[in-house]
Chain A
Amino acid sequence: MSQRNPAISKGIDWSLVWIYLLLVTIGLTAIFAATYKEGEPLVRSFLAFKTDYSKQFYFFGIGAVLALFILLTDSKFFSATANLGYALGIFMLLLVFPFHSNIKGTESIIKFGSFNFQPAEFCKIFVALALAKYLSRPETDFTKVRSQLIAAGIALFPAALTLLQSETGLALVFFSFFLVMYREGLPSIILLIGFAIAALIVASIVVEPNTLAIALTAIAAFIVYIFRRQIKRDRGIFITIVFIWALCVGIQRFAVPFIFKNVLQRHQVERIYDLFGKDNPYVEQGQGETMTAAELKKKKESGSSYNVRQSKIAIGSGRVWGKGILNATQTRYDFVPEQRTDFIFCTVGEGFGFAGSIVLLGLYLILLFRIVTIAERQRSTFSRCYAYGVAAVFFFHIAINVAMTVGLAPVIGIPLPFISYGGTSLLTFTIMLFILIRLDADRQMVLR
């Protein structure tokens, strides 16, 4: 594209636009490959708005129009309306509770004529903007714990609402905003503690509880031994170590079982355990006993482990070069459930093999790095924070979605940006990206 219209195109980062177009094209191809049935007239069914790939094509069109509008909007608009937008987002999330429709296992969708609208998906934009707005306020001193708590609250309040709508996956996405806060000065220790707790939880799933408790005690004793001289001088270190040890054992022995038993739903616990190839130990005894072996097997085959198994078969069977777009038997003949949406990566893996998967992941990595580069070149804190928000959300979606299809993460239903079928998600990601492009185009201006 040449710069025929300097008013709009001035300062636009074209590399992002090209990557965007490439990803959407790959997405359309993948949806086409997954849902095309032999003998459909190609052009007509692409335009007829009946098939999934046709719908996605139209959503892309709508997205393009929206993108154009965003590029025409004054970049000050976004910072000015960020708080208002956040309020609107929360309002929409609340609106879901009385008005949600009854669609397969979710309470997060409002039916809008023939369109399904998912506010939790959309809300990410407003949170990213609002968080950027808050962090860029001159009066915000992010070194203070109070500011950090407020920032966390801005990110996690919608997460709580989303969780109440049984959308664990979408709720978890909001945690990715901690990456923004980290960039803006959130102490590293918080991230480290986060990782440590995550590791502890994984360990308490994988390792037998008593063994783990003994191991933790041994580690604590070892640390005490190493620091024995310091401890002689300062009893406080010893108390800290004992406190951390008690906390760890407490989490492992009591908190994790409590959460699995009482907080999470049964299918979610099972998905987590499936990931480690283990049976859910928290099934109530009575139910466990009445189920015969055959029923258990059937249940297993129909559950999420079946999805992941079929998904792994699909991806694994693609080998290095893939089977070709319409020869992918796994994805074409409905062996992988949720093929077009959450498991769309299988289509790429099966049809284009390891080579195709690498290309797609490489494209994503370029996109993420490019966004980080763009973020760092902003003069305005608002733009930078927003850019990091976009990068964080994209990263979370991509990493978790792909990891889930290859069996590295539990099955939580979140879409793959620009590739997965679904109007709301495509439009959300498009809007997020193009707001960034718009802000970046005005990077010479200092926004508040």
Chain B
Amino acid sequence: MSVFNQSRSRIIRLIFLVAFAVIIVQLFYLQVIEGKYRQLAMDNAVFQKIIYPERGIIYDRKGKAILNNTLIFDLLVTPAEVKNIDTLEFCRLMKMDIAEFKKRILEARIKNTSVRPSIFEDLLTPEQQARFEENSWQFPGFAMVERPVRSYPFNAAAHILGYISEVNPKQIEASGNFYRMGDYKGQNGLESYYENVLMGQRGVQYLIKDNKNRLVGQYEKGAFDTAAIAGRGLKTYIDIELQQLAEKLMTNKVGGLVAIDPKTGGILAMVSGPNFNPNDLTGPDKSKNYSKMVLDVTGPMLNRAIGGKYEPGSTFKPLGALIALDEGLITPAYGFPCGGRYTLCGHGKPACTHAGGGHAANLRNAIAYSCNSYFTHLYRMAADNPKYKNVRDGYMKWREYMNLFGLGVRLGIDLPNESAGGVPDTSVYDKENAGRWTSCTNLTLGIGQDKMQTTPLQMANAMAIIANRGYYYSPHFVRQIEDETADDTTWMNKFRTKHDVLTHITDTAFTAVIEGMNDVVKFGTARVAQIPGIDVCAKTGTAETYTVLDNRRIKLPNNSMFVAFAPKDNPKIAIAVFVQNAGFGATWGGPITRILIEKYLNDTIQKKSEADVERISKANLMPAYFKRLQYKTDSVRAMEWFQKTKDSSYLERFTMEEIEPVSPIKRETPTGSQKENKKAVAMLPDEKYFRKPRTVKIA
């Protein structure tokens, strides 16, 4: 036995041990300390299939579904499985040429390999779907997958209901990564406001995939899967027939219309013009339609009923009267000697349509004849009220009343992007007048002008306050959430709380104003709103508007405004109609209001009104200057595009075609104030949100 060098056996053993120890340390690190590998293996091999629940349905007051779900089909292709098919026949059925067919197969291969299904054509039309269904057996490798899509069965209430679309990265971040790429989210209207109720709860299915991303089975036999819970529905106050009628009446008009049930604050109808068909944002052409609307300077996607800011003009006068009465400045018997203009500030403005004849002998008459001098004076009396030490305090008190009436504040409607309108505080006047101003400076506030801006919703709500003699409920659409939970109820209580803002005003004061508004209909400026058998209270309004186009200030036709509620005793509907650049308040707003009140209270409309419906709905009151504005906006955008990309294809259209500029002086080419139009464009979503056609990830 050789003992020579035997000690080296120990060294050899040591070498073995050290090598193994190093490996074991590395194993310990990989398997025990470092935790990321399990997740990495999960990411590799487990596919989380999100099961989307059905979104909640929205119902109108009579239980009709006005926003529903339907199924549209996508056609998928797995290129590796497409064998021996009659391509010609396929192309004939799907109405495409062979080159296009080959291109799409190739695209699918590149994008998603040939063993996984990719979208061949998304959102099939019903005809395509039917044709494919009949012949599907001939085309192995092609399959239809259903995709739930929102549908609006009445083609109405686009601005109210809103729409859903894929979330963008910003929204994903804002949601704390709750939403994922490809998720759909309510983007406007009730779809957005009630997103959490409507969306339901997503389910997750865990599936195993192999190294080529093919799904090979359930993970852990579905032990970790969670089921999807369907979204809950919303029961609203909307009267869909009334809504449809209102939308018909507002066809080709710019403006806003709101009808409220004063007893509950429930909104019966709300229209913003120009309008669009909500189904345009669901079907196969949704991206195209969306881009078109976004680029339209008339702003069809802007909800002017809650976002449009208008001087209320004479429709404000009943509120001014109530303030003066409550402050004890006047009694209903108070009269003002109006000789055709208001002279107490020295410049004889504003003028009045009536002169003398006792048209302002008392409050009722002043309202009925809409005497400008009378209400200008009431404002000045409120601002210069001796109770307060100066005009600033007086003004601020008056402004407080405005806020109580819901003007200059957000009412908290259940829609996003509500505007607060505008009733400035003293600082604005201080700034403009170097700190020196009197009630004469802003005297036209008394007739709803100057810097006063309201939304149609605010004026409808103000009418509801008068109709209710002092209280209101925050205007809202949703009466009840389906399967309402305690949390929901707490959340919804803001709409169910009575706001007793002005109930301290005496009944006599309300009676005087309400009777005056009734007189407006009986023999004043709103005779057009008379309905046999119903006592309507109303007030007309007309506001002058200007805009600046091509560096010239042009006067546009007046905005036509009309506010009303009915019946006089026990009011059931309060309504405000604003039509931009349409003329006198009674011309368009009056008949529209009458027709809607008739429809709502009587469920039918008179013969006379039916003719009016036809006449009004056919009248195109779209201001002509929009055409010029559109041309300018488009050409500027084309230029920007050209500068950015050097692609002149858009620009050429503008350099070749000579469009005759609209003469700014022409009276027939009118519209709303320039400010409002600017706003309309500014509120449109950014260009970067224009979406490309959606591609759906399919397992």
- Which residues from chain A sit less than 8 Å from chain B, CB to CB? 38, 179, 182-185, 310, 312-320, 327, 329-330, 333-335, 349-350, 353-354, 357-358, 361, 364-365, 368-369, 372, 375-376, 378-379, 381, 384, 388, 391, 395, 399, 402-403, 406-408
Beyond A317-B38, A357-B31, whether A330 also contacts B12 by CB under 8 A is no
What are the 10 tightest A-B residue pairs by CB atom distance, in nearest-first order?
Answer: A316-B37, A329-B45, A317-B41, A333-B210, A354-B31, A316-B30, A334-B211, A317-B38, A317-B37, A399-B19
A379 and B32 contacting across the interface, CB-CB below 8 Å: no
For the complex, what is the distance from the CA of A333 to the CA of B46, rounded to whole Å?
Answer: 11
Residues of B close to A320: CB separation below 8 A? 31-32
B2: CB under 8 A from chain A?
A: yes
The listed residue (A183, A327, A335, A349) touching B27 by CB distance below 8 A is A349
Q: Given the complex, which residues of B lie within 8 Å of A407, measured CB to CB?
A: 26
Q: B46's closest neighbor in chain A, by CB? A: A329
Contact between A358 and B44 (Cβ–Cβ < 8 Å)?
no
Closest B residue to A311 using CB positions = B30
Kindly state whether residue B601 has any CB partner on chain A within 8 Å.
no
Cβ of B6 < 8 Å from any Cβ of A? yes
Between B2, B12, B15, B208, the greatest number of chain A beta carbons within 10 A of the residue's beta carbon is seen for: B12
Report Cα–Cα, A317/B13, bound state, in Å: 31
> Given A183-B8, A407-B26, A333 and B209 touching (CB < 8 A)?
yes
A354, B32: Cβ atoms closer than 8 Å: yes
A182 touches B12 (CB 8 A): yes
**Which chain B positions have C-beta within 8 A of A333?**
45, 208-211, 216
- Check if B30 sits within 8 Å of A406, measured CB to CB: yes
Task: Mark each residue of chain B from 3 to 31: 1 if its CB lies under 8 Å from any CB of chain A, else 0.
Answer: 01110110011011101101110111011
Cβ contact within 8 Å between A368 and B26: no
Check A183 against B12 for contact (C-beta < 8 Å).
Answer: yes
Q: How far is the CA of A320 from the CA of B220 in the complex (A)?
A: 19
- Distance (Å) between the CB of A309 and the closest chain B CB? 9
Docked pose: A161 CA to B619 CA in angstroms: 97
Cross-chain pairs A/B with CB under 8 angstroms, 27 sampled: A38-B217, A179-B15, A183-B5, A183-B8, A183-B9, A312-B37, A313-B37, A314-B41, A315-B27, A316-B36, A329-B44, A330-B45, A335-B44, A335-B45, A354-B28, A354-B32, A357-B24, A358-B27, A361-B20, A361-B24, A369-B16, A376-B9, A379-B1, A384-B2, A403-B19, A403-B26, A407-B26
Q: Which residues of A contact B211 (CB under 8 A)?
A: 333-335
A369 and B13 within 8 A (CB): yes
The answer to whether the Cβ of B483 comes within 8 Å of any Cβ in the partner chain is no
Interface size on B, residues (CB 8 A): 40
Known interface pairs A183-B5, A318-B31, A353-B31; A365-B44 also in contact (CB < 8 Å): no
Residues A316 and B38 in contact, CB atoms below 8 Å apart: yes
**Least CB distance, A386 to chain B, in whole angstroms:** 14
Picked from B19, B27, B36, the residue with its CB within 8 Å of the CB of A357 is B27
Candidate in A38, A364, A402 with the most chain B CB atoms within 10 angstroms? A402
- Chain B residues near A391 (CB-CB < 8 A): 12
Given A313-B40, A316-B36, A408-B26, 11 more pairs with CB closer than 8 A: A179-B15, A183-B12, A316-B41, A317-B37, A317-B38, A354-B32, A357-B24, A357-B27, A375-B9, A388-B12, A408-B22
C-alpha gap A353/B32 in the complex (Å): 9
Instruction: Kindly list chain B residues whose C-beta atoms are within 8 Å of the C-beta of A315.
Output: 27, 30-31, 37
CA–CA, A317 and B6, complex, Å: 43
Neighbour of B5 across the interface among A184, A314, A402, CB < 8 A: A184
- Whether the Cβ atoms of A395 and B19 lie closer than 8 Å is yes
B134 within 8 A of A: no
- Closest approach, in angstroms, between the C-beta of A7 and any C-beta of chain B? 26
CB neighbors of A among B40-55 (8 A): 40-42, 44-46
A185 neighbours in B (Cβ, 8 Å): 4-5
Query: Could you tell me if A354 and B27 are in contact, using CB atoms closer than 8 angstroms?
Result: yes
Chain B residue at smallest Cβ distance from A322: B31
Residues from chain B with Cβ under 8 Å of A329 in the complex: 41-42, 44-46, 208
Residues in A whose Cβ lies below 8 Å from that of B9: 183, 372, 375-376
Establish whether residues A402 and B210, one from each chain, have CB atoms under 8 Å apart when the complex forms: no
A399-B23, A402-B23 given; A368·B16 CB < 8 A: yes
Residue of A nearest to B220 (CB): A327
A365→B27 contact, CB < 8 A:
no
Q: State how many angstroms separate the Cβ of A440 from the closest Cβ of chain B.
A: 14
B660 at interface, CB cutoff 8 A: no
Whether B100 is near chain A, meaning CB under 8 Å from some CB there, is no
Contact A399/B36 with A184-B5, A333-B45, A333-B210 known, Cβ cut-off 8 Å = no
Report B47 CB to chain A, min CB distance, Å. Answer: 11
Q: Which of A313, A368, A372, A378 contacts B41 (CB 8 A)?
A: A313
> Across the interface, which residues of A come within 8 angstroms of B38, CB to CB?
316-317, 319
> How far, in angstroms, from A313 to B2 measured CA to CA in the complex?
48
Q: In the complex, which residue of chain A has the Cβ closest to the Cβ of B5?
A: A185
Bound form: Cα–Cα A384–B23 in Å: 28
Q: Which of B175-231 contact A (CB under 8 A)?
A: 208-211, 216-217, 220
Cβ of B657 < 8 Å from any Cβ of A?
Answer: no
Q: How far is the CA of A277 from the CA of B404 in the complex (A)?
A: 70
Contact of B31 with A319 in the complex, beta carbons under 8 Å: yes
Q: Does chain A have a CB within 8 A of B34?
A: yes
Given the complex of chains A and B, what is the CA–CA distance between A390 and B40 in angstroms? 39
Report the separation of the CA atoms of residues A38 and B17 in the bound assembly, to the nearest whole angstrom.
40
Known: A38-B217, A183-B8. A317 touches B40 (CB 8 A): yes
Question: With the chains together, A280 CA to B544 CA distance in Å?
Answer: 77
Contact indicator A406/B27 (Cβ below 8 Å) = yes
Q: Which residue of B lies closest to A378 (CB)?
A: B1
Complex Cα–Cα for A185 and B5 (A)? 6
Q: Is the CB of A365 within 8 A of B40?
A: no
Q: How far is the CA of A114 from the CA of B209 in the complex (A)?
A: 33
In the complex with contacts A313-B41, A317-B38, A354-B31, A372-B26 CB distance below 8 A: no
A314-B13 Cα distance, complex, nearest whole Å: 30
Nearest-CB distance from B370 to chain A (Å)? 72
A368 cross-chain contacts in B, Cβ below 8 A: 16
B16 touches A365 (CB 8 A): yes
Which residues from chain B contact A384 at a C-beta distance below 8 Å? 2
Q: Roughly how many angstroms separate A365 CA and B24 CA in the complex, as a whole number?
A: 12
Cβ of A399 and Cβ of B20 under 8 Å apart?
yes
Nearest CB of chain B from residue A189's CB, rounded to whole Å: 14
Closest Cβ neighbor of A368 among chain B residues: B16
* Bound-state Cα–Cα, A399 to B216, Å: 35
Select B6's contact among A318, A334, A361, A376, beta carbons within 8 Å: A376
Distance from B39 Cβ to chain A, minimum over Cβ atoms (Å): 8
Complex alpha-carbon distance, A335 and B217, angstroms? 16
Q: Complex formed: what's the CA distance from A399 to B1 in Å?
A: 30
In the assembled complex, which residues on chain A have CB atoms less than 8 Å from the CB atom of B27? 315, 349, 354, 357-358, 361, 406
Cα A315 to Cα B23 with chains together (Å): 12
Within the complex, what minimum Cβ distance (angstroms) separates A194 from chain B? 12
A197 to chain B, nearest CB (A): 17
Q: How far is the CB of A368 from chain B (nearest CB, A)?
A: 5
CA distance A333 to B16 in the complex (A): 34
A319:B24 contact, CB within 8 angstroms = no
Closest to B6 in A: A376
CB-based contact A372/B12 at 8 Å: yes
Of all chain B residues, the one with the shortest Cβ separation from A182 is B8
Asked if residues A361 and B46 are in contact (CB atoms below 8 Å), the reply is no
B341 → chain A closest CB, angstroms: 77
Q: Once bound together, how far apart are the Cα atoms of A379 and B3, in whole Å?
A: 10
Q: Which residue of A lies closest to B22 (CB)?
A: A408
With A183-B5, A406-B23 in contact, do A334 and B17 touch (Cβ < 8 Å)? no
Q: Which residue of chain A has its CB nearest to the CB of B8?
A: A183
Which of B1, B38, B41 gathers most chain A CB within 10 Å?
A: B41
Closest to B39 in A: A317
CB distance from A315 to the nearest CB of B (A): 5
A303 to chain B, nearest CB (A): 15
The distance in angstroms between the C-alpha atoms of A399 and B16, with both chains bound, is 9
Q: Which residues of B contact A364 (CB under 8 A)?
A: 20
Question: A372 and B13: CB pair below 8 A?
Answer: yes
The answer to whether B37 and A358 touch across the interface, beta carbons within 8 angstroms, is: no
Tell me, rounded to whole Å, the shortest Cβ–Cβ distance linking A126 to chain B: 23
